[in-house]
A and B are shown apart, each in its own frame.
Chain A
Amino acid sequence: MHNDIRQLRTAKGLSQGQLAAAMGVSRQTINSIETGRYTPSLPLAIALAQFFTRPVEEVFHANGTP
């Protein structure tokens, strides 16, 4: 699943480790989400979207939809 986590994170000037600490997950998990290797659970996806104050469907895109 494609997502905009990396762009949103870098726009905020955060490192993967800082975002991971805020979400209560490991840095490697954030990296895996950004690269599309891991699809987060619904609670984590919602938490990430809330963190960036975006609707979840604007952050995560199923099958490459914009």
Chain B
Amino acid sequence: MPTAPPDPPQTTPRQPPRRVWESPWWLAGTSLVLGLAMLAAAWIGGHPAGGVVMLGVMVAVGAVFLLGGRSETIRLMGQPDERWRAIDLTATAITGLVLITVLIGAFLWELAHGRDGAPYTQLAAIAGVTYLAALLILRWRS
């Protein structure tokens, strides 16, 4: 006859406390604010219909954060543990590398077509300065 598993051990969770921006409500709220900003910008630019579409997309994204159901990816975005934070850090680094690669490629493309490379030159410069500053600050803090 199978026996019921014992009660879970009562120990203090050893993970750092959840930061406010890791709450599902924060993620959903940020999506909504971004959507409203897109709507306002599109409206000012004379394309209100496009702004409404963008707002709708961002509201849908926010709803996914709130109603993620059983999806580990969605759920852990609001309740991250150390493995999820490591995954998030790697994903952020990959995103940054891809963006910088695209920026450099676009900069070279613009140069090759006789233009000055703007705005990719400035964006690539911001990326480079940010990286160097982050290296210095993180090295100083560690």
Total contacting residues, chain A, CB less than 8 A: 22
Main secondary structure of the interface of A (DSSP, over half): helix
How far, in whole Å, are A48 and B5 apart by their CA atoms in the complex?
19
Given contacts A24-B13, A44-B14, contact A29 B5 (CB under 8 A): no
Main secondary structure of the interface of B (DSSP, over half): loop
Total contacting residues, chain B, CB less than 8 A: 19
- Are A29 and B83 in contact (CB-based, < 8 A)? yes
Q: Which residues of B contact A19 (CB under 8 A)?
A: 9
Task: Choose one: A15, A23, A28, A32; the contact of B14 (CB below 8 Å).
Answer: A23
> What residues of chain A have their CB less than 8 Å away from a CB belonging to chain B?
12-15, 18-19, 21-26, 28-29, 32, 38, 40-41, 43-44, 47, 51
